Amino acid sequence: MKRVIRALAILVVVAVLAGGAAAFVLYSRVDEPFRGYQGDSMEVEIPAGSSTRAIGEQLVSAGIVRDTITYRAALWLSGEARRLKAGEYVFDRPMGAREVLGKIARGEVALVNVTFREGLTIREMADLFEGQGLGTAAAFRDAAADKSLIVDLDPAATDLEGYLFPETYAVSRHVTAPQLVRSMVDRFTRVLTPDLRQAASDRGLTVRQLVTLASIVEKETGAANERPLVAAVYSNRLKTGMGLQCDPTVIYALQRAGRYDGNLRRDDLAFDSPYNTYRYAGLPPGPIAAPGKGSLEAAARPADVDYVYFVSRNDGTHAFARTLDEHNRNVQKFQVQYFRDKRLAARRQAEASDR
């Protein structure tokens, strides 16, 4: 009898040791880095509503997790079973099974960078959204028509033109147009600080007027140091009732009417639209593009100068003037003479090549 008891005891001890050894091996395996796929990375898309079993099968099949047993052990040890999130995930290095589950539980989905540069209109942003393969341009335009997102800032807004902040956004490949638009508006409201709004208010500008002026500044110059000067020109014109006579506002009016082909002609300056600042004094009804932070700051705090004219130097900068005579001299130098010299140089080059 004693021999039987001793034998049973030995079997129990062996079983316990074997079980402990197996548990130790399994415990170690869930944290052991593993990579069973070829190439630099592997993408796994987990559909909404997937069961933990289905997720495990995907991860094992894709070579992200070693096997089903390791997956189940990691799931039990991590306690993440109820927190796994749907989405598209990219794995680009060996990872332990628990680390994989942690990534999915945190929702660290694959992101793409979408860059909206300063000065774009809603329609141009919509085309970019579609070009990135995120959705249709129509869906973006519809989302950008939701004026309720800025009703507290601008009760007169008819859409979100000017209020979609230009920046690079890291978004999921499955981001919807309303989600992205809301992020862009949220970013705008953070950039438009109380201090900036107060500076505009001190100059007698509403938020809508500030953003409208900033959008004009954005379209007129890409030189950061010139923005306060351009803002000063238009602010000085507004003070005296002088027409803004701003080409970008005419272009915007033509775009809205579907009549802009990339060229602005003299006859276009007579186009009848409230956005045409050659025909109507004061600011246009609303923003004509998305201004960046620099243009918003310039519109709120223009330079303390008495310029009322400026003309392109054809190198990305402008020549500013206080009087019409001074402006006409700048036009003669940087426009008339510049293009005359350019045509002459082209003709001489053509003559030389014919010899």
What pLDDT, in 10s, does the model give residues 33-45?
999 999 999 999 9
pLDDT at 7 over 60: no
3-state DSSP assignment of residue 310: strand
pLDDT at 16 over 60: no
- The residue type found at 261 is D
Please give the share of the chain, as a percent, with pLDDT higher than 70: 90
**For residues 267-280, average pLDDT:** 95
The pLDDT, as a whole number, for residue 4 is 47
Cα torsion through 64, 65, 67, 70, rounded to 10: 180
H or E stretch at 318: strand 318-321
The pLDDT, as a whole number, for residue 58 is 95
Q: Tell me the per-residue pLDDT of 285-333, one tens digit each, with 9 for 90 and over.
A: 999 999 999 999 999 999 999 999 999 999 989 999 999 999 999 999 9
**For residues 108-125, average pLDDT:** 94
pLDDT at 339 over 90: no
Q: Tell me the per-residue pLDDT of 204-254, one tens digit each, with 9 for 90 and over.
A: 999 999 999 999 999 999 999 999 999 999 999 999 999 999 999 999 999
The pLDDT, as a whole number, for residue 9 is 44
pLDDT at 187 over 90: yes
The pLDDT, as a whole number, for residue 133 is 92
The pLDDT, as a whole number, for residue 1 is 56
Closest CA to 74 of 107, 103, 36, 40: 103
Look over the chain and give the mean of its residue pLDDT values, rounded to a whole number: 90
Tokens, residue 4:
């039987």
CA distance 138 to 126: 7
Closest CA to 147 of 137, 158, 138, 163: 158
DSSP for residue 108: -
**For residues 70-77, average pLDDT:** 94
- By the 8 A CB rule, do 207 and 200 touch? yes
**For residues 77-85, average pLDDT:** 91
Token match 């009087």: residue? 323
Q: Give the model's confidence band at 27: pLDDT under 50 very low, under 70 low, under 90 confident, else very high.
A: low
3-state DSSP assignment of residue 344: helix
Angle formed by the axes of helices 293-300 and 194-202, to 10°? 40
Domains of the chain: 27-105 (3.30.1490.480), 111-191 (no CATH), 205-307 (no CATH), 310-355 (no CATH)
Token match 């289905």: residue? 54
3-state DSSP assignment of residue 256: helix
Q: Tell me the per-residue pLDDT of 40-60, one tens digit each, with 9 for 90 and over.
A: 999 999 998 999 999 999 999
